[in-house]
C-alpha cells in the first residue's frame, strides 16, 4: 500500500481529523470507520495523528474526579432552606412573608427533584406556622412541646451501625400515629419516613432541643437531617375515608449512602 503524507489544514486533513475524533469518541458509523481503517493502514501521518490525539484524550479522561469540600453540601442545603435568613434580618423566620418566599423555593426544589407535590420544608426552631397560611402544607413543626410515649405501641425499629444508630418507635391513639425518634450519628445522616399513598397525612413535628437540625416534609416523606444526637416526635394523622394504613417506610442514610431500609408495621394489631 502507498503511504500518504498530509500537511496541516488541507481539506483532507479536516476529513481525517473528523474521522479520528469520531472514532476516539465512539461516535463513528461503519462506512466512516472503514474509510479510517484504510487511512490508518496506508498513512503514517494519520497513524501519528491518531496516536497523538488518543494520548490527549486519554490524559483528559484520566484527570481525577475532584472531591468537593465536605462543607459544600451542608452549605448549599442551608442556603436553600433559609433563603430569607440569608438575605438579611428584615423578615423573621416564621413570618408569613418569609414563609411564602421560602416555600416557593422549596416547591421549586421538589419539582426539580422530579417528584413533586410539595408540602413544605421548615426550619426547626421557627415558630409554628398557622395552617391557614399554607395551602400546600398539612402540618407544623416546632421545638417546644413534646408528647412522647403516648398511645399503643405498634412497632419499633432499631438501627445499629458505626456511623448512625438509633430507634424509631411507632404508637397510635385514635387516628393519630406518633413516631418517637432517637438518633445518634457521627457526621451527616438522614432518616426518611415515607407516608405517601399510605392513608396518612403529616400533622406535626417536635423536638426537645433548640437544634439547628431541620425537618423537611417533601413529596409525602419526612426528612430528618441529623448530625450528632437528636430526638424528634412526629405525628401523622389517618386520612379520613381511606383504608387503615398498613406500614410506614423508613430509610436511613449516612454520608448520603443508604444503610438500612425498614418498614414499621401498623395494621397487624388493628382492624380496618
Q: Which residues of the chain form contacts with another protein (CB under 8 A)?
A: 17-18, 21-22, 25, 27, 52-53, 55-57, 59-69, 72-73, 75-77, 79-81, 83, 105, 108-109, 111-114, 121, 190, 216, 218, 223, 225, 253, 256
Q: Which is nearer to another protein, 27 or 210 (CB)?
A: 27
Grid coordinates representing 157? 425499629
Give 121's Cβ-side CA count (13 Å radius).
Answer: 27
Kindly report the number of other CB atoms within 10 A of residue 230's CB atom.
22
Q: Which is nearer to another protein, 24 or 239 (CB)?
A: 24
Provide the minimum distance between the beta carbon of 182 and another protein in the complex, in angstroms, as a whole number: 20
Q: Which is nearer to another protein, 22 or 91 (CB)?
A: 22
Q: Which is nearer to another protein, 30 or 112 (CB)?
A: 112
Provide the minimum distance between the beta carbon of 234 and another protein in the complex, in angstroms, as a whole number: 18
Grid coordinates representing 261? 431500609
Q: Which is nearer to another protein, 170 or 191 (CB)?
A: 191
Q: Largest alpha-carbon pair distance within the chain?
A: 90
Is residue 258 within 8 A of residue 223, CB to CB? The reply is: no
Q: CA 124 to CA 136: how far, in whole Å? A: 19
Q: Crossing angle, helix 71-81 and helix 96-112, to 10 degrees? A: 130
Kindly report the number of other CB atoms within 10 A of residue 168's CB atom.
24
Provide the minimum distance between the beta carbon of 110 and another protein in the complex, in angstroms, as a whole number: 9
Q: Which is nearer to another protein, 65 or 162 (CB)?
A: 65
Q: Which is nearer to another protein, 205 or 266 (CB)?
A: 205
Is residue 248 within 8 A of residue 170, CB to CB? The reply is: yes
Provide the minimum distance between the beta carbon of 49 and another protein in the complex, in angstroms, as a whole number: 9
Provide the minimum distance between the beta carbon of 44 and another protein in the complex, in angstroms, as a whole number: 17
Provide the minimum distance between the beta carbon of 161 and another protein in the complex, in angstroms, as a whole number: 18
Burial class (CB in 10 A: 0-12, 13-18, 19+), 35: middle
Q: Torsion angle of alpha carbons 136, 155, 182, 117, nearest 10°?
A: -20
Q: CA 136 to CA 103: how far, in whole Å? A: 9
Q: Which is nearer to another protein, 30 or 67 (CB)?
A: 67
Q: CA 86 to CA 181: how far, in whole Å? A: 30
Q: Which residues contact 153 (CB under 8 A, 6 or more apart)?
A: 169, 170, 171
Provide the minimum distance between the beta carbon of 74 and another protein in the complex, in angstroms, as a whole number: 9
Grid coordinates representing 267? 395494621
Provide the minimum distance between the beta carbon of 244 and another protein in the complex, in angstroms, as a whole number: 30
Amino acid at each position: 500500500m502507498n503511504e500518504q503524507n498530509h500537511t496541516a489544514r488541507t481539506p483532507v486533513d479536516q476529513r481525517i481529523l473528523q474521522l479520528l475524533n469520531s472514532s476516539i469518541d465512539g461516535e463513528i458509523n461503519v462506512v466512516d470507520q472503514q474509510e479510517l481503517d484504510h487511512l490508518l493502514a496506508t498513512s503514517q501521518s494519520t497513524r501519528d495523528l491518531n496516536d497523538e490525539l488518543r494520548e490527549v484524550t486519554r490524559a483528559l479522561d484520566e484527570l481525577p474526579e475532584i472531591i468537593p469540600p465536605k462543607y459544600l453540601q451542608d452549605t448549599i442545603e442551608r442556603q436553600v432552606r433559609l433563603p430569607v435568613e440569608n438575605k438579611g434580618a428584615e423578615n423573621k423566620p416564621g413570618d408569613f412573608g418569609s414563609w411564602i418566599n421560602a416555600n416557593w423555593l422549596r416547591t421549586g426544589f421538589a419539582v426539580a427533584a422530579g417528584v413533586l407535590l410539595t408540602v413544605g420544608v421548615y426550619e426547626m426552631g421557627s415558630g409554628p406556622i398557622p395552617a391557614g397560611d399554607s395551602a400546600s402544607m398539612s402540618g407544623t413543626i416546632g421545638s417546644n412541646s413534646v408528647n412522647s410515649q403516648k398511645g399503643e405501641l405498634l412497632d419499633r425499629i432499631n438501627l445499629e451501625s458505626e456511623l448512625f444508630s438509633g430507634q424509631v418507635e411507632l404508637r397510635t391513639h385514635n387516628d393519630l400515629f406518633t413516631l418517637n425518634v432517637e438518633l445518634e450519628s457521627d457526621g451527616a445522616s438522614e432518616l426518611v419516613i415515607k407516608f405517601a399513598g399510605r392513608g396518612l397525612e403529616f400533622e406535626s413535628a417536635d423536638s426537645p432541643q433548640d437544634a439547628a437540625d431541620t425537618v423537611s416534609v417533601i413529596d409525602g416523606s419526612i426528612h430528618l437531617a441529623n448530625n450528632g444526637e437528636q430526638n424528634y416526635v412526629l405525628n401523622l394523622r389517618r386520612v379520613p375515608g381511606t383504608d387503615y394504613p398498613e406500614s410506614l417506610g423508613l430509610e436511613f442514610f449516612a454520608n448520603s449512602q443508604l444503610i438500612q431500609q425498614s418498614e414499621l408495621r401498623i395494621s397487624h394489631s388493628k382492624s380496618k
